[in-house]
Amino acid sequence: MSEPVKAVATNFIRNIINEDLKHGKNGGRVHTRFPPEPNGYLHIGHAKAICLNFGIARDYQGLCNLRFDDTNPAKESEEFSRAIEEDLRWLGFEWHNTPYHASDYFEQLYKFAEELIEKGLAYVDEQDADAMRASRGTLTEPGTDSPYRDRPVAENLDLFRRMRAGEFEDGSMVLRARIDMASSNLNMRDPVIYRIRRQHHIRTKDAWVIYPMYDFTHGISDALEGITHSLCTLEFEDHRPLYNWFLDNITIDCHPQQIEFARLSLAYTITSKRKLSQLVTEGLVSGWDDPRMPTLTGIRRRGFTPRAIRRFCDLIGVTKKNTVTDMSILEDCVRQDLDAHAPRAMAVLDPVKVVIENYPEGKVEMLEAPRHPKTDLGTRELPMTREIYIDRADFRESANKKFKRMVLEGEVRLRNGYVIKCLQAIKDDEGNITELRCSYDPETLGVNPEGRKVRGVIHWVSASHSLPAQVRLYDRLFKESNPGSLSDFHEAINPESLRILDNCRVEASLGEVQPEQQFQFEREGYFCADRHDCKPGHLVFNRSVSLRDSWAKLDQGA
């Protein structure tokens, strides 16, 4: 782990564990797991489950497994598994042992299914899908028994073995648990536990033509790994009786406790893997790691830090109440982290040239500036030259006193440099400013001029020494706060979620920048060097967050 363990606020799950430990349950062991399905990339919602499971293991000197829930071969891939491992490590967590796979248990799961059959607790059903659906009943109506429900044990065993041997067509029959078709809990109405599916599996290849269902697989995998607390999201609450039923009815000496918590829903984004995958395949984003994506790989590329994400997960806490969390809370965590740790630099995003008439031609003065205002990160050199760039938005020919930047005849301070005064604005035929002519006061380095008022401080870079850069400004991918609830999320896509600025200039000290290095571009926001595209001689920076939360202001109608 990259940081010392910090006290984390307690929550109802930690309270349960504290009680368990007090009573010596599980022999004092705490063992959790994180069970992603390798059918997509991890997203910010997963970060909540990761911080919870790995955080508990860390704080109780326990263990946390990474288990790939790979029972649905159609959608799973090795690319996704590798990416999940990389994202987990990036977030700062290391799993116990090597990753586990539900598919490692296929043989054991099969044996447990036979055990259920032998106990008269499972049967092979040949009803077609429609008949099964019709006989399931509704929330208010009990289901009806399948005509195959009372098949003799020997016949069930024989059919199940032949299902495994590949004698039957896909979908022609299933193995069902024999529980209670009249249960008020629909999950207990003889759920399917095996289906026939001729699918190549990334790990077991073509060894199996029957695959176990999630509910059957999950609890048994937990028990086989000695998990003590199986933490999952609230939609599995109704599955808990089934989780327990399977473990109570097979011969296994571990019975983990399933505890449900509310999933994370973030406003202005989606966290459904299916929909995220749609954004990728339809080319609406550049990939799973597009910086607008709520995937961990996306927000990493955007410049969000593992520390900020862990802090966010601590802040939002763990409860049993479903709520929607505002994106600005996550962005604030990023902002605070970067404010504390990111070195400062100057970048001019929309440059206009300034010629300082009384500054000698060819002269280069190396001004020194701290890399960070509070932490000692050393200093950097800012070459001061006769020609510099400032941002177009920092000049107006005339403006009232509230405009704390440059106006004609007005004085401003160059950040970490001299006070300059604007003498003239040169324009092209269309009236666009092409150059500003200024003078500087050589007595003002680190000292305020006497008896004159300087309007404000603006950032700048040397025209000859600065480096060209591309800057990508990201905004939210969706205009609607709950795009996932719309019948078609395409309508909610924000057409202005990416703006590319190609003519930016950054200070010379950024020439050696490493991918993913982060900065506060003074007065502009927090930026990071793009981890794929930024190279020496081709600088590309992504805006991670603005300096202040402009959305909160919008929400308040300001």
Binding residues (CB under 6 A) for ligand ATP: these are: 35-37, 45-46, 48-49, 69, 232-233, 263-264, 271-274
Annotated catalytic residue, options 14, 29, 37, 415: 37
State yes or no: is 37 an active-site residue. Answer: yes
Got the DSSP string for 464-528?
A: TT-EEEEEEEE--SBSSS-GGGSS-GGGGB-TTSEEEEEEEEE-GGGGGPPTT-EEEETTTEEEE
Say if residues 96 and 90 touch (Cβ distance below 8 Å): no
CB of 73 to ligand ATP, least distance (A): 15
Beta carbon nearer to ligand ATP, 13 or 367: 13
Beta carbon nearer to ligand ATP, 221 or 520: 221
Beta carbon nearer to ligand ATP, 321 or 401: 321
H or E element in which residue 462 lies:
strand 460-462
CB of 263 to ligand ATP, least distance (A): 3
Beta carbon nearer to ligand ATP, 47 or 179: 47
Do the strands 344-345 and 518-521 form a parallel or antiparallel pair, or are they unpaired?
A: parallel
Say if residues 212 and 109 touch (Cβ distance below 8 Å): yes
Beta carbon nearer to ligand ATP, 122 or 232: 232
Amino acid identity for residue 399 in this structure: A
Of 199, 235, 216, nearest to 45 by C-alpha is 235
Cα–Cα distance for residue pair 275/253, rounded to 1 Å: 40
Say if residues 338 and 518 touch (Cβ distance below 8 Å): yes
Annotated catalytic residue, options 29, 263, 371, 455: 263
State yes or no: is 263 an active-site residue. Answer: yes
Annotated catalytic residue, options 48, 189, 240, 273: 273
Q: How far apart are the first and last CA of the chain?
A: 42
Beta carbon nearer to ligand ATP, 36 or 351: 36
Cα–Cα distance for residue pair 37/214, rounded to 1 Å: 10
CB of 79 to ligand ATP, least distance (A): 15
State yes or no: is 374 an active-site residue. Answer: no
CB of 121 to ligand ATP, least distance (A): 27
Q: Which residue has the tokens 């300034």?
A: 354
H or E element in which residue 55 lies:
helix 44-59
Q: Which residues are catalytic?
A: 37, 263, 273
